[in-house]
Amino acid sequence: MTDAPQPNAQSPDDGALSLGLDLPVQLKPSAGPAGEYRVLARKYRPSSFDDLIGQEAMVRTLSNAFKLDRIHQAYILTGVRGVGKTTTARILARAFNYELPEQGINRPTVDMPELGVHCQAIIESRHVDVIEMDAASHTGIDDIREIIESARYRPVMARCKVYIIDEVHMLSKAAFNGLLKTLEEPPPHVRFLFATTEIEKVPVTVRSRCQRFDLRRIESQVLIDHLAGICTKEGVRVAAEALALVARAAEGSVRDALSLLDQAIAHGSSAGADEIGAATIRDMLGVADRARIVDLFENVMQGDIATAMTSLKEQYDQGADPALILSDLAEFVHFVTRLRLVPDAKPDASVTPEEVKRGREFASALGTPTLTRAWQILSKGVADVRHSPRPLAAADMVLVRLAHASDLPTPEDVLKRLQNAPLSSGSPASMPSGGGGGGGSSAMAQGSAMRAPLPVSIPQNAPRAQVGPRIATLQDMVALAQTNRDIQLKIALESDVRPVRIEDGTFEFALVEGASAQLVPQIMNKLKEWTGQRWLVAISNEPGAPTIKDVRDAKEAEKMRGVRAEPLVRSVLDRFPGAEIVAVRTIGDVEPVANAYAPQQGGEDVIYADTQIGEDDEDL
């Protein structure tokens, strides 16, 4: 009878050493079967501050703090996804507990040239004294209560006990409140490390008890160099332009870049290519060629909508997403705007020299109003395309709007030209056509011409044109309030104001009894806003004319008396006791269906009276 194998018994060739009750420490990585492949994002995860890229400011601050023995009790790390928040927390946990007896190192340090006693277990998230908790799945006060209770006890093996809470903003309000006291005055052997992508959701009471580090997005050139080094280690050949596309798509996230590179290697290998080129990456990501994006921008700005729509259809047939095409187009508009406003700015590493050359040409030809208007149209158009059931058709319409609006002047330019330019008698003002689809107009060709005076003339003795709408009566003022959707002021003007005098820039009136005196400054401010000129508004001692409401009520009462005097209406009221006239409408107010049943009376006005019959007459 053979003895049963012990759980911790391993052969010398296993590559692991048994430490009794401790978990086995891996001495060297084993090749393993093909199914145990580790993705690049995990395989090349940094294990020390020397491997961390793009966060030099944070590394320098922490290095000085460790050298001066000014280690804080709690750190909070924030930033976008994939920039190294959780990785930095694990490196800090290593630094807190770094121990290398062979070299006599037994103190916290950021200089970790070799794996210490606890390093491998911390890196693999299996150390008993480094507790990692995902706040997204442990949000309640009970989870925090366990941390508070266990924090009182000293660490089992390491120098200090470290609590790493990922996505800490997901904790509940009660959990945050329960953590405050321990976070402010923790035991000397406890360190807290928080990571979050939404720092504004973390209560300020928690943030004030932590040292905060904002991890930056990784710059494109740094990310491209990092990806190139990994490609060399993996033995794959990837073109520099392809790596630039990956870095652009990753938007500063190392994890996203490595995931895309992993996918690109698999995609390129399936295609049988010796080198993964930019075309392969574009096919994989569904993005358009940057050169074709620039050509599309030029076609739209020139008003050549037919060529632009054909180019969009070709890119769509090749697998490009219409929303991504418009997004790249908006990104190029932003790039041209930056070149126009900051000509000496250093372009991003992911931008090709050809893009820079053509971008400078557009920046010198296009005005800032044209570029800002293009940005607004594209920003709204991207959202419309993403939510449209027909993305290609929606993208086509966005290009149509952009082409037609590319050569339109701004409202300020129109007003200036109308005020300053001469107006030729008998001919309308010469405005630039908005027909960007074949009208022959070009925004780039009009770069300086759009600011030139229009060939119009105004007679010398002609009065100056009024900027705002003309107000001659109180009814004009009420109509202006209705147009500007100020219903409260419209009702006040109709019911509380008795007009005395309305002239150019002057309005005198009397208030009805009980009306608010604050109506005067309110009317003054609104008239200045709507007409563009200052108004003198005052309350007069004169009684003033009747209010619009009084006049309207008097007309309704007169109309009601006339209807009651009609023999037919009077007979109906006598036949149905308790019936009353609700409203009186002329034939122009009656619905078309009702008119179809109305007798034709040779153009005479026919008046309809709506009556309401009492409950006692329902059986009649």
Which CATH number goes with the domain that contains 344? 1.20.272.10
Q: What is the pTM of this model?
A: 0.56
Query: Do residues 522 and 573 share a domain?
Result: no
Q: Tell me if 297 is assigned to some domain.
A: yes
Check residue 458 and give its pLDDT: 36
Last residue of a domain, one of 172, 191, 214: 214
Q: Are residues 234 and 187 in the same domain?
A: no
Q: Tell me the C-alpha distance between 318 and 306, whole Å.
A: 19
Same domain membership, residue 210 and residue 126: yes
- What is the identity of the amino acid at 500? V
Strand runs labelled E in 155-296: 161-166, 190-196, 211-214
Domain boundary among 214, 235, 254: 214
Give the pLDDT confidence score for residue 468 in this predicted structure: 62
d(CA 108, CA 97): 6
94/167 same-domain check: yes
Same domain, 91 and 163: yes
Instruction: Match 């599309």 to its residue by tokens.
Output: 296
Both 128 and 171 in one domain: the answer is: yes
Is residue 548 a part of any domain in this protein?
A: no
Amino acid identity at 407 = D
82: left (phi over 0), alpha (psi -120 to 50) or beta: left
pLDDT lower than 50: segments of the chain? 1-34, 423-443, 445-466, 590-608, 611, 613-620
Are residues 176 and 52 located together in one domain of the fold?
A: yes
| Whole-number pLDDT of residue 31 | 44
Do 519 and 609 reside in the same domain of the chain?
no
Structure confidence at residue 342 (pLDDT): 87
Name the domain count of the chain: 5
- C-beta of residue 378 within 8 angstroms of C-beta of residue 402: yes
Q: How far apart are CA 300 and CA 443, in angstroms?
A: 9
266 inside domain: yes
Residues 75 and 156 in one domain: yes
414 located within any domain: no
The pLDDT of residue 9: 39
Where do runs of H (alpha helix) occur along 387-448?
A: 391-405, 411-420
Shared domain for 193 and 207, answered yes or no, is yes
Regarding whether 88 and 200 lie in a shared domain, the answer is: yes
Q: How far is CA 311 from CA 296, 308, 322, 368, in A?
A: 7, 5, 11, 26
CA distances from 138 to 127, 130, 146, 153 (A): 20, 17, 11, 22
- 87 inside domain: yes
Residues paired with 17 in a beta bridge: 25
C-beta atoms surrounding 379 within 10 Å: 14
Domain boundary among 232, 257, 285: 285
* In-domain check, residue 534: yes
Domain range for 352 is 290-405
The CATH number assigned to the domain holding 273 equals: 1.10.8.60
Give me 516's structure tokens: 């608010």
What pLDDT sits at residue 417? 67
CA distances from 271 to 264, 283, 291, 462, 564 (A): 11, 11, 24, 76, 91
Q: Is residue 432 part of a domain?
A: no
Give the CATH number, domain containing residue 187.
3.40.50.300
Tens-place pLDDT, residues 506-522: 888 888 887 877 788 88
Q: Is 611 helix (H, G, I), strand (E, B) or coil?
A: strand
H or E element, residue 499: strand 497-503
Per-residue pLDDT tens for 529-562? 888 788 888 888 788 888 888 888 888 888 888 8
Q: Residue 428, by phi and psi: left (phi above 0), alpha (psi -120 to 50) or beta?
A: beta
Flag whether 45 is in a domain: yes
CATH (domain of 526): 3.30.300
Judge if 156 and 182 occupy the same domain: yes
